[in-house]
Amino acid sequence: MKTLKIMCLYPNEMNIYGDHGNLLALQKRAEWHGFDTEYIQHEPNKKFDTSADIIIGGGGQDSGQDKIQADLLKNGAALHKLAAAGTPMLMICGLYQLFGHYFETHAGHHIDGIGIFDAWTKAGPTRLIGNIIIEAVIASESEAIPNKIEIIGYENHSGLTYLNKAQKAFGKVVKGAGNNGSDGTEGARTNNVFGSYLHGPILPKNPALADELIRLAAIKKFGSFEPKEIDDTLATKARDIATTRPR
Ligand code: GLN
């Protein structure tokens, strides 16, 4: 049996609006695709395990971000190394912000990030809250995977994120605010590291993205990925209803 190790960063401090569902979706879908999974939970002050095949992290209150800042900075070099080596990662909201350079809160307090994304975040005058739909390209056209997909989720953030010139966005906003409510971008992508404001949680609602993380991890570790057919009737129904929800 082939094993994929899934690491969750700071699930006690950084896990809101159902982000824990991302772990469950990855574990289940990896199993359905024929893998065993092993779960690694990373907490502040725990020795960082660099053997993870997929790394995920969720959103959190400003206070949660403050609590994990020191540990994240301590492990920044290890995370940069894994990102450069092609390890797939998915960081939502609060951790997405801290995978950029910094988040400046309303009170003007700087919470430093690790700069895997060339982006910075500053709290805006109002929170951006509501259902959101974006369009994202999750694999290159040469790969046999739906190229452009609609990603559905829910956002709630004070932070406005701005991408510097060379930084690729994750997607384009179709409905909602995204990175900052003004430039139409949502999230960021560097190598196989995805950052996004989408809770929802994002992976159960968007199985194609979960499968993409699994595919990237399997190809990196085993050299190939043969997807099994999965019955996504329920996920598809949930997506259909979610797209009709008002903002
Ligand atoms: N505290 C951050 C903000 O308000 C992140 C929020 C979140 O993770 N949902 O922007």
148-163/119-137 β-pairing: antiparallel
Specify the pTM. Answer: 0.96
What tokens does 154 get? 């829910």
Using a 6 Å cutoff on CB, does residue 195 contact ligand 1? no
**107-142 as b/e: b if 16+ CB within 10 A:** eeeebebbebbbbbbbbbeeebeebbbbebbbbeee
Residue nearest to atom 6 of ligand 1 (CA): 157
List per-residue pLDDT tens for the chain, 247 residues long.
Answer: 899 999 999 999 999 999 999 999 999 999 999 999 999 999 999 999 999 999 999 999 999 999 999 999 999 999 999 999 999 999 999 999 999 999 999 999 999 999 999 999 999 999 999 999 999 988 755 565 556 889 999 999 999 999 999 999 999 999 999 999 999 999 999 999 999 999 989 999 999 999 999 999 999 999 999 999 999 999 999 999 999 988 8
Model pLDDT, residue 144: 58
- Count the domains in the chain: 1
Residue 177's pLDDT is what?
98
Whether 10 and 68 have beta carbons less than 8 Å apart is answered as yes
- Of the candidates 126, 98, 100, the residue with the CA atom closest to the CA atom of residue 182: 126
* pLDDT tens digits, one per residue of 2-19: 999 999 999 999 999 999
Q: How far apart are CA 129 and CA 109, in angstroms?
A: 22
Q: Which of 8, 42, 93, 101 is catalytic?
A: 93
Q: Check pocket membership of 62 for ligand 1, CB cut-off 6 A.
A: yes
Q: What CATH number should be reported for the domain holding residue 206?
A: 3.40.50.880
**Domain membership of residue 155 as a residue range:** 3-244
Contact 201, 20 (CB under 8 A): yes
Q: How far is the CA of 68 from the centre of ligand 1 (A)?
A: 14
Would you say the CB of residue 16 lies under 6 angstroms from ligand 1?
yes
Closest CA to 176 of 127, 140, 213, 219: 127
106 noted as active-site residue: no
Where would I find the H helices in 33-85? 62-74, 76-84
What is the number of the ligand 1 atom nearest to the C-alpha of 121? 10
Ligand 1 centroid from CA 224, angstroms: 36
